A and B are shown apart, each in its own frame.
Chain A
């Protein structure tokens, strides 16, 4: 029975998934392919970018040279994928519960012989499946890019994609919790949150006083420039991410089970 709800959720969301994964993946692929045509001219640009103080720190260009494929991938594709995947994670999770009440389909789905928890579990599983598929599709696009350039895939690439998936899970966990509040469309809030998290990370790398609190944001442990320079695993950030993710999910189940459903 839960399978039927999961299948329906996946069918409803598949268009979103295809659009976002192909757009973000293709954009990343184009960025990678552009590397070859820019490679010759990038030496001077890389020197200039690495000496731009806070700006260089914020985008990791003080530690990585964008004249190398690794550095180029981390700064360019890292930004594209980080923003794109964060926004995708937010928008799929922020409406997945509330859309039933917002679209007046709540009475249809909740009159089936399933507990609210099982319906929510199917929806949470749908978000998880979509995030994994999104990550796999983007990974395939980027690998095609590396292969097209005849370059080896950097070891850190898979760590980066894995951490991005964790970051997506954290954002979607928060949004899933928010989606359990009384039903209305919160797409703007979801997108705004993803952008705020990203901005917080950029600001945290520029403003010295914020650096100690950088780990609070989900982008801290998924930062491409740190991963590609083999920085230490940000354990604090990852533990906090797991805690926030669990809180978001638990809140969604607790809140949705205790409240009245709108018609």
Chain B
């Protein structure tokens, strides 16, 4: 039996009187590329941000790579590569400095892996962050998330702003890392990405999670989750 990389049990998070997520339970096994679907505001980012320790959740527990997300927060982040939906960095920094900074803070030399990723994603490391388009900032974010070769990737809407060729290269990279033993949680609105690349999937609606029997669902079924939400 494969190791459970993510184990979320009865997670509930609210923002004062506003709903966040309600009683979410989820398990993801090692080697999975897990599609995480759902309308805007359904609770996908809340779940991810709770996993990473950005949010203090009200109830439930989260274990990542066998460690407690609250107690072992720092140890978990050593093994996680996270790409937020909005790839923001310090404007005045050069791309090369951002990538090196991300490695330095982790206390490891990632220069070879970073160089390989920059070449494959065609990242211009001499430019300043403020000169980059959203797509190019996303590519920098991908490099920062991948260069330390983490055991778990968490991507929050990673392909928005990327051109089709870069999207293809991005998924090639994910597949390569997963083949080497990594696991990937992919939060997205793009059904075709889930259909093509994911092994399992779940959809969130109004803070609640529903596991899908298969990641290969048709457009109408997919959209019905969104419509019912309105």
A115 and B77 CA atoms in complex are apart in Å by 10
Give the chain A neighbours of B89 by CB distance below 8 A: 105, 108
A112 and B54 CA atoms in complex are apart in Å by 11
Whether, in the assembled complex, A12 has its beta carbon less than 8 Å from a beta carbon of chain B, the answer is yes
Give the chain A neighbours of B25 by CB distance below 8 A: none
Whether, in the assembled complex, A254 has its beta carbon less than 8 Å from a beta carbon of chain B, the answer is no
Give the residue among A103, A104, A114, A260 with the most B Cβ atoms within 10 A. Answer: A260
Give the chain B neighbours of A110 by CB distance below 8 A: 52-54
Look across to chain B and name the residue whose beta carbon is closest to the beta carbon of A110.
Answer: B54
**Which residue from B76, B86, B90 sits with its C-beta under 8 Å from A12?**
B90
**Which residue from B54, B88, B106 sits with its C-beta under 8 Å from A1?**
B106
Look across to chain B and name the residue whose beta carbon is closest to the beta carbon of A112.
Answer: B105
User: A5 to B88, Cβ gap below 8 A?
Assistant: no
A125 and B86 CA atoms in complex are apart in Å by 29
Whether, in the assembled complex, B176 has its beta carbon less than 8 Å from a beta carbon of chain A, the answer is no
Whether, in the assembled complex, B204 has its beta carbon less than 8 Å from a beta carbon of chain A, the answer is no
A119 and B107 CA atoms in complex are apart in Å by 14
Whether A115 touches B73, Cβ cut-off 8 Å, given contacts A4-B101, A105-B89, is yes
**Which residue from A108, A109, A113 sits with its C-beta under 8 Å from B74?**
A113
Whether, in the assembled complex, B142 has its beta carbon less than 8 Å from a beta carbon of chain A, the answer is no
CB distance from A114 to the nearest CB of B (A): 7
Whether, in the assembled complex, A47 has its beta carbon less than 8 Å from a beta carbon of chain B, the answer is no
A263 and B45 CA atoms in complex are apart in Å by 9
A124 and B74 CA atoms in complex are apart in Å by 20
**Which residue from B52, B53, B73, B101 sits with its C-beta under 8 Å from A8?**
B101
The majority secondary structure among interface residues of chain B is mixed
CB distance from B71 to the nearest CB of A (A): 11
User: B84 to A263, Cβ gap below 8 A?
Assistant: yes
A113 and B104 CA atoms in complex are apart in Å by 11
CB distance from B204 to the nearest CB of A (A): 17
**Which residue from B52, B84, B91, B104 sits with its C-beta under 8 Å from A4?**
B104
User: A112 to B88, Cβ gap below 8 A?
Assistant: no
Look across to chain B and name the residue whose beta carbon is closest to the beta carbon of A104.
Answer: B88
Number of interface residues of A (CB under 8 A): 23
Whether A261 touches B86, Cβ cut-off 8 Å, given contacts A1-B107, A4-B105, A113-B77, is no
User: A260 to B86, Cβ gap below 8 A?
Assistant: no
Whether, in the assembled complex, B144 has its beta carbon less than 8 Å from a beta carbon of chain A, the answer is yes
| Interface positions of B from 143 to 157, Cβ below 8 Å from A | 144
A106 and B55 CA atoms in complex are apart in Å by 12
Whether, in the assembled complex, A258 has its beta carbon less than 8 Å from a beta carbon of chain B, the answer is yes
Give the chain A neighbours of B10 by CB distance below 8 A: none
Give the chain B neighbours of A8 by CB distance below 8 A: 90, 101
Give the chain B neighbours of A111 by CB distance below 8 A: 52, 77, 80, 82, 84
Look across to chain B and name the residue whose beta carbon is closest to the beta carbon of A8.
Answer: B101
User: B88 to A113, Cβ gap below 8 A?
Assistant: no
Give the chain A neighbours of B90 by CB distance below 8 A: 8, 12, 103, 105
Look across to chain A and name the residue whose beta carbon is closest to the beta carbon of B79.
Answer: A113
| Interface positions of B from 109 to 125, Cβ below 8 Å from A | none
Give the chain B neighbours of A109 by CB distance below 8 A: 105
**Which residue from B75, B84, B101, B105 sits with its C-beta under 8 Å from A107?**
B84
| Interface positions of A from 207 to 242, Cβ below 8 Å from B | none
Whether, in the assembled complex, B92 has its beta carbon less than 8 Å from a beta carbon of chain A, the answer is yes
Give the chain A neighbours of B55 by CB distance below 8 A: 260-261
A258 and B55 CA atoms in complex are apart in Å by 9
Whether, in the assembled complex, B128 has its beta carbon less than 8 Å from a beta carbon of chain A, the answer is no
A114 and B73 CA atoms in complex are apart in Å by 8
**Which residue from B49, B84, B91, B102 sits with its C-beta under 8 Å from A112?**
B102
Look across to chain B and name the residue whose beta carbon is closest to the beta carbon of A5.
Answer: B105
12 CB < 8 A contacts A-B: A1-B104, A104-B88, A105-B90, A107-B82, A107-B86, A107-B88, A108-B88, A108-B144, A111-B80, A258-B56, A263-B45, A263-B84
Known A104-B86, A108-B88, A113-B105; 14 more pairs at CB < 8 Å: A5-B105, A12-B92, A103-B90, A105-B89, A107-B54, A107-B88, A108-B144, A110-B52, A113-B76, A113-B77, A113-B106, A114-B105, A115-B73, A263-B45
Which positions in B face A, CB cutoff 8 Å? 15, 45, 49, 52-56, 73-78, 80, 82, 84-86, 88-92, 101-102, 104-107, 144
